[in-house]
Amino acid sequence: MMRSRHFEITYCLNESRRLFVQPDSHMTDEDAWYYACLHSGVGLLYGEENVEDDHARLLDHAKKAGLTDVRWEELP
């Protein structure tokens, strides 16, 4: 079983800085953008067929909604 770790994710939504802690077994930049979309209420895109471009479409969707500057770091 993988141990749960905690990650601090920060982002800007319409130039307002936001922060939250996300438990997970690992984190990547793509994961952080995914979680930031959920946390901010921007939401996700569904029904898309070309999964190879999912992250690019997620970034485009997020940025059009005012979500930018997603960063993360593991907490001790």
What domain count does the chain have?
Answer: 1
How does DSSP classify residue 15?
Answer: T
DSSP letter at 22? E
- Rounded to two decimals, the pTM is 0.86
Burial of residue 37 (number of CB atoms within 10 Å: 0-12, 13-18, 19+):
buried
Q: What is the pLDDT of residue 1?
A: 59
pLDDT 10s digits, 45-65: 665 555 556 888 889 999 999
C-alpha separations of 68 from 2, 21, 37, 64 in Å = 30, 17, 10, 9
Residue 48: predicted pLDDT: 56
**Rounded distance, CA 58 to CA 33, Å?**
8
Structure tokens at 6: 């905690």
Q: Which residue range(s) make up the domain with 17?
A: 5-74
